[in-house]
Every structure is written in structure tokens, then in C-alpha cells.
């Protein structure tokens, strides 16, 4: 029984976090999608445009490919281990483990191949659940034709359009290439005897900064020198895709929210009321959150926040400004969560059905002195409702079409990225394996001659 309540509580908290920070979640997912796509395209161009067929891939290329697969995990996660039965305890980060895998003889080939085989198909992650959601929602729209005069139908359609935010988060979070669970990567890294403490996944809204931290890791080149990613890949992890990810997130979310607001707005009494104001307040808070996320998760801002000191002259204003953005980021998220909880409770308890909101928000303002013309209609089936019913089905159908378009687009992108990942992985990891074999042979020859 305890485990059941823990599961229910975990599910409710997960839904609350997704709704409270839906904008940053989708913006972070789209940023990772853009980064994955750019890396695969760059590697594909490098592999196909080589003038010298004997040229081997550089360490930057295979490490960038590895980041697309494990970039969702905390780069600095550590765990104590014993080596050679000694009592000495050493700290190795997860990034060190990945780099060690890639530098082993045949390690790059095995690691990349095993990791690619653990990726869950897009259609399995979100395709089947979305089909059930769209099917149920479509059936509700068809069934609503027999209740076109009941404005409860409008409230249900608007509520469903608003709550498809969860589906949108699921679609975008399933479009990334990285491993989605610690247990999955544990099977690939099992020979290092790391437990779950060594595999810490980052929240979707934190992936942008984590990918940048991965790109700052130093890797070993053929001359055994520690170097960073070269200029072909390092700009991909900087600020290049932040604007596009914010714009994409707003576009993905604003369409169903605009439809939900319009349905509530056109439902008598026509105008802005508590029904439409709830959706409007939530949409505004999420757009503001996305703007704050672009600063809060910025690698440059986070590094400046860690290095700036309020004690130093000319830095205390920057220090306070950065922490003010962080504070606003969480405050606005909590406000969005409260709006979600309030709107859900009012919908489920029937407050939207018969309440003062039907008089319109204008009559509830303190500045409205004369309320003699304010009317509260208790009927839920009026001629005005029937006249507005045609817009309910059209707007609800548009919401279903938008979900189908996003699903088709996501399926198309994931299919192309999976094909690129598989094709490049086989050719590319073979080349990496050959390069490591050549390096091992050279080292063996040098040791023998010595």
C-alpha cells in the first residue's frame, strides 16, 4: 500500500512539474533536437566530403557523436571505487568513464554500437499513446455533436486543448537521441561496476547547460594530448540554437492554448471571463518562463553566476541581476503551477458551469460601479450557445490536426536521424576502431623497439 501511494505521489508531482515548467521543458527538448541534428549533419558532411579516403575520423567527431547519445546524463556524476583490490578510493566522473570507453581498443565501436541499440523507437515512446489520446479526443468531438447547445461541451473541449500540453511535452522529449533512463546506460557501462549513483539524468530544461559542459570536456588525441572539441563542433553547443529553440517551443505550445482560449472566449457570455482568463494567464506565464529559461540556462550566465562576486566592484550588479533571473524563473513557474491547479479544480468541481464568470470579468472589477445590467445565466443550453457551437468543433478539430502534424513531423525527423545514426555509426565506428588499432600497433612497435 505504501508503494502504491508513493507511485501516485510521484506521478502527481511529475505532472505538476511538467505543467509548471512546460515551456522550459519543450524549449530544452527542442534545443537538444537541434544540437543532435546539427552534429549528425556535420559528421555526415565530414564523412562524405573527404578528399583522402585513408583519412581517419578525429577524436572530436566520435566524441561529438557520443555526446548525442549520453549528453542527457550529469557529466560530473561520481562514485567511489576500489582499484586492484587496494583500499585507495578514487573519484571518476561519468564523463571519464565514457572517454575511457571511447579510447579503448575497439571500445569506440562497441560503446557506440551498444548505445545505439538501446535507443527506444519514437513510435513506441509516444506514437502508440498519442494514437489513443487522439482517438479518444476525436470520439469526444463526434459525440459532442449531440450536445451542441450545452456549454459544458465547450468547457470540455477547451480543457482538453489546454491539457494536451502533457502530450506536447511527451512528443518533443521523445524526439531526442540521447538515452532516456539510467538503467539503460547501466547495461552499456556494466563492466565499470557503477551503480545508479553514477548515472544521474538531468531534467529536460537543464540539458542545454549540460550539453555545453560535455563539450568542454578534454579528450585525448592521437599524440596523447588532452584537447577540447575543435571549431567545427564547439559552436554547436554554444548560444547558436537558443533563439530557435525558444521560438519553436512558443510555436508548439501557443497553437493549442490559443484554440482553448478562443473556445472559452466565444462561449456565452462572450468575452474574457475566468474560463478564458485561466488559459490566458497560463500561456503568458509560460512564454515569460521560456524567455527566462533562455537566460537562466545559458552557459555563459551560469558560469558568470558562479564566478561573479558581490564583494568585487562592478560585479555586484551583474551578480544580483543573474540571481534575480533565477528567482523569477522559479517564482513564475510556481505561479503557472498554481494557475494549473486552480483551473483544474474549477473545471472538475463544476465552477465553470454555473458561476459569476458567466457575467463576464468586466462586472467583477472594483471600478465597475453600476452592476444593474449584470446578468448571470444559470441555463447551460441557450440559443447563444447553439450559435457558438459550430466554432467548438472547428477549433477542437484544429487542435487534433495540430497534434497529428507534430507527430508526423517528429516521426519524420526521428526516422531520418535514426538512419543517419545507424549508417554513420557502422561506417564511422569501423573507422574509429581501425584508428585505435593502428594507434595500438604503433605503441606496441615503439615499446618493442625500446
Domain ranges (residues) in the chain = 18-382+399-449
Give the whole-angstrom CA distance, residue 442 versus residue 33. 39
Peptide bond into 8 cis (omega under 30): no
- Cα distances from 255 to residues 180, 337, 399, in angstroms, run 28, 20, 8
Q: Does the predicted TM-score (pTM) go above 0.85?
A: no
Predicted confidence at residue 449, as pLDDT, reads 43
Predicted confidence at residue 445, as pLDDT, reads 47
10-residue mean pLDDT profile of the chain (450 residues): values are 74 80 91 86 72 60 79 73 49 75 68 74 71 78 68 78 87 80 69 60 82 79 67 75 90 92 80 82 93 84 58 62 84 90 80 58 55 57 65 84 85 70 53 50 44
- Return the C-alpha cell found at 313: 566592484
Predicted confidence at residue 377, as pLDDT, reads 58
User: Phi and psi (nearest 5°) for 381?
Assistant: -135, 95
Nearest to 242 by CA among 34, 38, 41, 25: 34
Give the whole-angstrom CA distance, residue 375 versus residue 364. 12
Could you tell me which residues come within 8 angstroms of residue 447 by beta carbon, excluding any fewer than 6 positions away? none
Predicted confidence at residue 40, as pLDDT, reads 82
**Range 250-254, long-range pairs (CB < 8 A, 24+ positions):** 250/23, 250/287, 250/290, 252/26, 252/30, 252/168, 252/172, 252/406, 253/22, 253/23, 253/26, 253/165, 253/168, 253/283, 253/286, 254/283, 254/287
Predicted confidence at residue 82, as pLDDT, reads 47
Predicted confidence at residue 196, as pLDDT, reads 54
The residue ranges of DSSP E strands in 163-268, in sequence order, are 219-220, 226-227
Amino acid at each position: 500500500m505504501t508503494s502504491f501511494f508513493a507511485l501516485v505521489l510521484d506521478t502527481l508531482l511529475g505532472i505538476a512539474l511538467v505543467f509548471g515548467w512546460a515551456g522550459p521543458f519543450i524549449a530544452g527538448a527542442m534545443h537538444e533536437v537541434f544540437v543532435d541534428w546539427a552534429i549528425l549533419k556535420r559528421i555526415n558532411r565530414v564523412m562524405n566530403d573527404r578528399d583522402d579516403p585513408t583519412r581517419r575520423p578525429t577524436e572530436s567527431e566520435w566524441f561529438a557523436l557520443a555526446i548525442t547519445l549520453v549528453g542527457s546524463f550529469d557529466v560530473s556524476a561520481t562514485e567511489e571505487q576500489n582499484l586492484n583490490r587496494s583500499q585507495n578510493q578514487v573519484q571518476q566522473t561519468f564523463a571519464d568513464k565514457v572517454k575511457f570507453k571511447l579510447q579503448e581498443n575497439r571500445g569506440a565501436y562497441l560503446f557506440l554500437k551498444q548505445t545505439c541499440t538501446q535507443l527506444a523507437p519514437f513510435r513506441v515512446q509516444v506514437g502508440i499513446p498519442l494514437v489513443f489520446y487522439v482517438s479518444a479526443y476525436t470520439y469526444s468531438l463526434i459525440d459532442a455533436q449531440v450536445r451542441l447547445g450545452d456549454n459544458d461541451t465547450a468547457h470540455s473541449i477547451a480543457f482538453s486543448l489546454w491539457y494536451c500540453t502533457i502530450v506536447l511535452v511527451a512528443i518533443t522529449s521523445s524526439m531526442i537521441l540521447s538515452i532516456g533512463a539510467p538503467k539503460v546506460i547501466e547495461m552499456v557501462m556494466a563492466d565499470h561496476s557503477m551503480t545508479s549513483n553514477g548515472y544521474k539524468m538531468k531534467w529536460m530544461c537543464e540539458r542545454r547547460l549540460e550539453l555545453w559542459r560535455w563539450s568542454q570536456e578534454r579528450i585525448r588525441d592521437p599524440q596523447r594530448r588532452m584537447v577540447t572539441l575543435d571549431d567545427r563542433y564547439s559552436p554547436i553547443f554554444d548560444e547558436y540554437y537558443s533563439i530557435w529553440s525558444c521560438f519553436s517551443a512558443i510555436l508548439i505550445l501557443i497553437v493549442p492554448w490559443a484554440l482553448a482560449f478562443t473556445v472559452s472566449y466565444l462561449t456565452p457570455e462572450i468575452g474574457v471571463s475566468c474560463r478564458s482568463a485561466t488559459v490566458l494567464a497560463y500561456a503568458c506565464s509560460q512564454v515569460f518562463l521560456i524567455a527566462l529559461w533562455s537566460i537562466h540556462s545559458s552557459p555563459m550566465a551560469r558560469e558568470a553566476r558562479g564566478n561573479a562576486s558581490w564583494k568585487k566592484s562592478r560585479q555586484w550588479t551583474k551578480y544580483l541581476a543573474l540571481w534575480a533571473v533565477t528567482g523569477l524563473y522559479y517564482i513564475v513557474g510556481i505561479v503557472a503551477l498554481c494557475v494549473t491547479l486552480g483551473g483544474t479544480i474549477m473545471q472538475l468541481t463544476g465552477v465553470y458551469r454555473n458561476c459569476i464568470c458567466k457575467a463576464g470579468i468586466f462586472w467583477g472589477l472594483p471600478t465597475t460601479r453600476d452592476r444593474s445590467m449584470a446578468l448571470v445565466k444559470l441555463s447551460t443550453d441557450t440559443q447563444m450557445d447553439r450559435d457558438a457551437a459550430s466554432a467548438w468543433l472547428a477549433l477542437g478539430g484544429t487542435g487534433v490536426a495540430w497534434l497529428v502534424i507534430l507527430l508526423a513531423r517528429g516521426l519524420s525527423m526521428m526516422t531520418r536521424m535514426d538512419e543517419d545514426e545507424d549508417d554513420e555509426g557502422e561506417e564511422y565506428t569501423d573507422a574509429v576502431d581501425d584508428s585505435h588499432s593502428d594507434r595500438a600497433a604503433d605503441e606496441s612497435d615503439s615499446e618493442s623497439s625500446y
